[in-house]
Amino acid sequence: EAGVTQFPSHSVIEKGQTVTLRCDPISGHDNLYWYRRVMGKEIKFLLHFVKESKQDESGMPNNRFLAERTGGTYSTLKVQPAELEDSGVYFCASSQDRIRGGAEAFFGQGTRLTVV
């Protein structure tokens, strides 16, 4: 069974440009999460989809970030326009249940975004 897949693995863009990150969750997982780790800091929650709906986007830093999940399958996270402080590693995770009980969230390998 394929795990959570993220594209691209690395991205280097100039300040002001647009970047789109993609996440393909494990098939059948309704819950999809985006997290971000800025250099030297904790991994922070960005948002949570249940199928195609945004359950919680309280962690989104500002309106330059737009997340979508078309048809409840893969998700994209667009940053437009990118700023230097957006550099970091963006993780996607999926789970069948809402991380309750022992239902762990399965993470992708992350996308390392560098804004120069």
The whole-angstrom separation of Cα 32 and Cα 81 is 24
Contact window for another protein (CB under 8 A) among 15-23, 49-57, 64-72, 79-87? 49-57
7 Cβ contact partners less than 8 Å away, ≥ 6 residues apart:
21, 22, 24, 111
**20 secondary structure, DSSP code:** E
Contact window for another protein (CB under 8 A) among 20-28, 36-44, 71-79, 80-88? 36-44
Given 32, 67, 86, 91, the residue binding another protein (CB under 8 A)? 91
Q: How many other CB atoms sit within 10 Å of the CB of residue 100?
A: 7
Looking up tokens 């780790």 gives: 37
Given 13, 26, 38, 45, the residue binding another protein (CB under 8 A)? 45
Distance of closest approach, residue 49 Cβ to another protein, in angstroms? 10
Closest to 25 measured CA to CA, from 7, 45, 44, 43: 7
Residue 9 interacts with another protein (CB under 8 A)? yes
Contacts to another protein by CB under 8 A: 9, 33, 35, 40-45, 48, 55-59, 89, 91, 93, 98-102, 104-110, 112
